[in-house]
Amino acid sequence: MEQALVKDINERGFFTEYNNGGGQVGTKKNDSTILLQKYTKQMLDTLQFMGLKPPTDVKKDVGGNDDPNL
C-alpha cells in the first residue's frame, strides 16, 4: 500500500486537478499525501506497541528522484 501511495504522489504530484461536474474546476491536495501520513503514523504506532524500532537507514523516493539506490 505504501508503495502505491508514493507512486501516485510521484506520478500525479502533491496537488491534483479536480472537476466536480458542475463547471467547477481547480486544484486540491492529492488524497494520497494524507493517506500516506496516516499510514506511516499507524505503522510507527504499531511498531512502538510491539516494542520494535523502525529502520533508520531507509530512504524513500517521494521527491521524484530516479536514483534506484534510494
Tens-place pLDDT, residues 2-48: 899 999 999 999 999 989 888 899 999 999 999 999 999 999 999 88
Strands (E), the chain: 15-19, 25-29
In a domain, 68, yes or no: no
How many domains is the chain built from?
1
Residue 70 lies in a domain: no
Q: Is residue 25 one of the residues assigned to a domain?
A: yes
3-state secondary structure of 27: strand
56 in a structural domain: no
In a domain, 15, yes or no: yes
In angstroms, the first-to-last Cα distance of the chain is: 18
> Residue 31: which domain range?
2-49
* Residue 54 counted as domain residue: no
pTM greater than 0.75: no
Asked if residue 33 lies in contact with residue 9, where contact means CB atoms within 8 angstroms, the answer is: yes
Average pLDDT, the chain: 84
